[in-house]
Structure 1
Amino acid sequence: MYKGKRILATISARGGSKGVPGKNIRDLGGLPLVAWTIREARRSGMIDRLIVSSDDEGILAVARSHGAETPFVRPAELARDDTPGVDPVLHAVAALLPETYDYVVLLQPTSPLRTVADIDGAIAACLDGGHPCVLSVTEADKSPYFMFTLEDDKRLSPVIAQERYHTRRQDLPRVFMPNGAVYVADCAWLAQTRSYLTPQTRGYEMPRERSQDVDGLLDFDICELLLRKAGRIA
């Protein structure tokens, strides 16, 4: 609980990964991928309850073995490739009724480098600022001000219209992109908007070294290297 508000954290980990089969329970530095997120979430002093939402019994068993609750099996229709990310979150909130929460935090297992400081920092930014939603972002490594579309005649057309083209990155505005690590939202607001990205959404900046997303096998190697560099594994 934080500032008198009950906070639910849900880890969405479906079983149907096609790029890397069994991705969410694949070993990363001695722990299943999902366990890195469970471990940091359990360290939070702000989260009242931590659950894992999955359609896969293997993932649910691993989650329980690492200290997360698995109060339900996610319906198959909410575990498809085209399922919007907000739908399993709203399902989790509804599935726990009559127990209610003021805020829900979505933590994706594919962001294993995020720490409890990032989780609590995003929660505090949301509640302290009186915002309905805060999501974690990181500075983009490539500026869209340097990006172009290639027209049929091979003409370069800038993605962002500019009066003059800048040649130095230092002269450009900083730009950010969601990194998928932490989503914090007011439960009632999220049920109404069914989207995290609205004009009311605010960003919580995270460093690049904790913003790596696990999509393919190479990402496992990169994350393990970064975890070792940070001293989080031997």
Structure 2
Amino acid sequence: MIGGKSVLGLIAARGGSKGVPGKNIFVVNGRPLIQWSIDAARASGYIDRLILSSDDSAIMDVARNAGCEVPFRRDAALASDTASAIDVVADALMRVPGYDIVVLLQPTSPLRIAADIDGAIELLVSSGAGACVTVREADEHPYWMFRLGDDGRLSRFAEPAGGMPLRRQDLPPAWSLNGAVYVADCGWFLQHRTFLSPATVGYPMPADRSLDIDTVADLELLQRILGEEVNGPLPSSP
């Protein structure tokens, strides 16, 4: 709870990932991937209740064993490749009502820590914003990105002020979503059904805690970051 507001933590993990099958329960440094997020959420100073939304029995069992409540099984319609995270969060808020703030944590961000979660919650409350999402400094600056036309000509995605070329040290800060923490006022979220709007604030996180696991190569990178020997079987890509 924060400022008299109750906080629901939600970990969303479906079983049908095509990119890296079974990644949510792949064991890294002795813990299934999803447990890294569960442990961070349980260490939060503000999350009052932590629940899982999943359609997969194996994921549900791992989450329970790690201390996460599993109050329902996600409907199959919300576990397809085309199902949106927004619908998953809205479904969870309808099934588990009565909270003021919802915090969505994806198990693909294992290096996020409790301080990141609590910092984003604090920023939401202190700013009075409808939502807060975590961000990291962009790898590539939009001033150095281009469209390639049908005629092969380049045009900038964003024009620098004055149209002049910029040295790297002259570039204004640019930020990317890192997918680690999404926080919203529950009433605002159910009305707008998004985490991203002009009412959203960004909470900066360092790059070394912003790894998002999407591919087998990302899992290998995580193992290297954690100092684990990459000599066991990894999930295979299709």
1:80 aligns with 80
1:153 aligns with 151
Secondary structure of 1:190 counterpart: helix
2:236 aligns with none
Structure 1 residue 173: Cα displacement: 1.2
- Unpaired segments of 5 or more residues in structure 2? 229-238
- Cα deviation digits, residues 180-233 of structure 1 (max 9, x gap): 00011000000000011110000000001000100011111212222349xxxx
Distance 2:147 2:129 in 1: 36
Secondary structure of 1:119 counterpart: helix
Distance 1:134 1:218 in 2: 29
Secondary structure of 1:50 counterpart: strand
2:96 aligns with 96
Paired residues of 1:166 and 1:172 also in contact (CA < 8 A): no
Say whether residues 1:186 and 2:185 are aligned partners.
yes
Structure 1 residue 132: Cα displacement: 1.5
Distance 1:150 1:165 in 2: 20
1:232 aligns with none
Structure 1 outlier segments of 4+, above 4 Å: none
Distance 2:150 2:45 in 1: 56
What is the letter of the counterpart of residue 94 of structure 1? M
Identity %: 52
1:33 aligns with 33
State the TM-score, normalized to the length of structure 1: 0.94
Match of 1:109 among 107, 114, 120: 107
- Cα deviation digits, residues 142-194 of structure 1 (max 9, x gap): 10100111223322211113432424111111110111000110000000000
What is the letter of the counterpart of residue 59 of structure 1? I
Range with greater deviation from structure 2 (133-142 or 159-168): 159-168
1:225 aligns with 224
Structure 1 residue 126: Cα displacement: 0.6
1:201 aligns with 200
What is the letter of the counterpart of residue 216 of structure 1? T
2:138 aligns with 140
Structure 1 residue 74: Cα displacement: 0.4
Secondary structure of 1:55 counterpart: coil
- Cα deviation digits, residues 71-101 of structure 1 (max 9, x gap): 000001111111111111111111124xx10
1:9 aligns with 9
Say whether residues 1:53 and 2:53 are aligned partners.
yes
Structure 1 residue 128: Cα displacement: 1.6
Distance 1:155 1:15 in 2: 43
Give the CA RMSD over aligned residues. Answer: 1.3
